[in-house]
Amino acid sequence: MAAEHVLVIGLGYVGLPLAIQAAAAGFEVTGFDTSASIVDGLNAGRSHVDDVSDAEVAGMLARGFRATADEQSLGPQDVIVICVPTPLSESDGPDLTAVKAATAAAGRWLRAGTLVSLESTTYPGTTDEVVRPVLEKISGLAAGIDFSLAFSPERIDPGNPDFGFANTPKIVGGITPSCTEAAAGFYGRVCERVVRAKSAREAEMAKLLENTYRHVNIALVNEMAIFCRELGIDLWDAIGCAATKPFGFQPFYPGPGVGGHCIPIDPNYLSYKVRTLGYPFRFVELAQEINGRMPRYVTDRAAELLNRHARPLNGARVLLLGVTYKKDIADQRESPARPIAVKLRDRGAQLTYHDPYVDSWAVGGEPVPRATDLDDAAASADLVILLQAHHDYDLPAIAATAQLLLDTRGAAPAAPHVEAL
Ligand SMILES: NC(=O)c1ccc[n+]([C@@H]2O[C@H](COP(=O)([O-])OP(=O)(O)OC[C@H]3O[C@@H](n4cnc5c(N)ncnc54)[C@H](O)[C@@H]3O)[C@@H](O)[C@H]2O)c1
């Protein structure tokens, strides 16, 4: 029997691991991405995604995978998975441009019997109200009758050594029960456990519930961090104690702000949908306000710490440690390091940064000098701000060297010149 054809549209953090898994499961996989550099890199065996190695890309190529930026070179497909970005528009609403473009491409290459699965995070109703009409119009076929259409949220956690694509349960929700079964059949071959949602809308909502839950709980501890300091309470110690409760509590930790896609961006998709009902989603809006204020709070704390040691922020040499949005990965999307750098620079700080994962870094179009020797840089800075506690960092050594250290992660050892957020 000929191998079934799988087309993955969008070969980023979500699409690439899926393509690898599908190729390993015996599907004939093609990747379509509008970025020629990503396509060329993958076809040359180079991964641009943190958790995917060059060897895995090479293995997938050996199994017949190819990437293309030329839609015309595609052919009819058995399964089409859409993994393109869902950013925010200028008014902070959903920007479904890429989803619509990818859906149009899918519509041109689906045939009777094809499964189309949307994985991009989006507001509930998108699969049925936005994707379905485009597919039906372009293909002339009926969703749920001639072809299957489902939503399956991606739960990739970049940098997580324990849970990857294959062993994280995969939710699937079709626009009809038979579409759910078609999606469950496909994903059952590429990952260990499939969870069936009642429909595509519940699957879309499940993803936003997960993201919103984290967003709100991070905002809760960020707000607590601010008042705990004024009350003289070590919040990290309190969280550590609370986390010993064997039920009913999950620890979240304060930090300099939220980054990546899932936390700062995705909940906006849900609040947009709720606003169409004529009222706001107050939890999300409050969480956004609190988490969005953290970069300013970090900057104020930096100024205060320097001031207590009779140094002004204006003219101070400030070393930022770790500028990615998450530890141990290279992804800088929405990293709070960026607004923090802007605010510090606006107040006259002379910035340098250090990050083992970032070779060069520019903020507002202006390069920030990179410290190559961490010991020297930490010793010569008036203030070191730990933004991301990458595993590579020897925090006791950094704390011993730094003149002043503002620790936004609660990860450095306590010392008179070290302050936690
Ligand atoms: N990165 C994560 O950790 C993560 C986790 C869960 C869900 N998601 C969601 O998955 C979706 C994709 O995210 P990602 O992190 O993989 O994004 P990404 O930016 O890493 O990759 C998206 C890819 O799609 C390509 N692309 C853009 N428009 C295209 C088009 N019209 N046709 C073909 N290719 C196109 C881009 O060139 C890029 O390579 C988003 O909705 C995101 O919210 C991401």
1 pLDDT higher than 60: no
- CA 419, 392, 403, 361 torsion: positive or negative? negative
Say which residues have a Cβ less than 8 Å from residue 273's Cβ, sequence separation at least 6.
Answer: 123, 124, 125
Residue nearest to atom 5 of ligand 1 (CA): 156
Q: Which atom of ligand 1 is nearest to the CA of 32?
A: 33
pLDDT band at 335 (very low <50, low <70, confident <90, very high): very high
Tens-place pLDDT, residues 356-409: 999 999 999 999 999 999 999 999 999 999 999 999 999 999 999 999 999 999
* Exposure b/e, 55-79, CB count within 10 A at least 16 = b: ebbeebbebebebbbeeeebeebbb
Residue nearest to atom 4 of ligand 1 (CA): 156
Q: Which of 5, 9, 13, 139 is nearest to 68 (CA)?
A: 9
pLDDT band at 2 (very low <50, low <70, confident <90, very high): low
pLDDT band at 233 (very low <50, low <70, confident <90, very high): very high
Cα of 396 vs centre of ligand 1, distance in Å, is: 38
Cα of 22 vs centre of ligand 1, distance in Å, is: 17
Higher pLDDT among residues 262 and 223, named by residue:
223
Q: Which atom of ligand 1 is nearest to the CA of 16?
A: 16
Once rounded to an integer, what is the mean pLDDT over residues 409-418? 93
Tens-place pLDDT, residues 46-87: 999 988 999 999 999 999 999 999 999 999 999 999 999 999
Tens-place pLDDT, residues 316-329: 999 999 999 999 99
Tens-place pLDDT, residues 12-28: 999 999 999 999 999 99
Cα(397)–Cα(405) distance, integer angstroms: 12
413 pLDDT higher than 70: yes
Cα of 160 vs centre of ligand 1, distance in Å, is: 18
Q: Which of 350, 345, 347, 340 is nearest to 317 (CA)?
A: 350
Ligand 1: residue of 51, 82, 84, 325 to mutate (most ligand atoms within 8 A of CB) is 84
Q: Are 239 and 251 in contact (CB under 8 A)?
A: yes
**Which residues have CB under 6 Å of ligand 1?**
9-15, 32-35, 38, 83-86, 98, 101-102, 119-121, 154, 156, 158, 261-262, 266
DSSP single-letter state for residue 324: S
Residue nearest to atom 10 of ligand 1 (CA): 120
Once rounded to an integer, what is the mean pLDDT over residues 177-189? 98
Cα of 277 vs centre of ligand 1, distance in Å, is: 28
Query: Which of these is catalytic: 83, 179, 228, 262?
Result: 262
Once rounded to an integer, what is the mean pLDDT over residues 188-215? 96
Q: Which atom of ligand 1 is nearest to the CA of 101?
A: 31
Q: Does 262 qualify as catalytic in the annotation? A: yes
Q: Which atom of ligand 1 is nearest to the CA of 266?
A: 43
Cα of 39 vs centre of ligand 1, distance in Å, is: 14
- The structure's pTM equals 0.92
Tens-place pLDDT, residues 91-145: 878 999 999 999 999 999 999 999 999 999 999 999 999 999 999 999 999 999 9
* 28-32 vs 5-9, strand pairing mode: parallel
Cα of 334 vs centre of ligand 1, distance in Å, is: 14
pLDDT at 261: 78
419 pLDDT higher than 90: yes
**Diameter of the chain measured on Cα atoms:** 77
Tokens of 213: 């839950």
Once rounded to an integer, what is the mean pLDDT over residues 34-54? 95
Q: Which atom of ligand 1 is nearest to the CA of 265?
A: 43
Higher pLDDT among residues 222 and 160, named by residue:
222
Beta strand spans in 24-114 (E): 28-32, 66-68, 79-82
Once rounded to an integer, what is the mean pLDDT over residues 311-315? 97
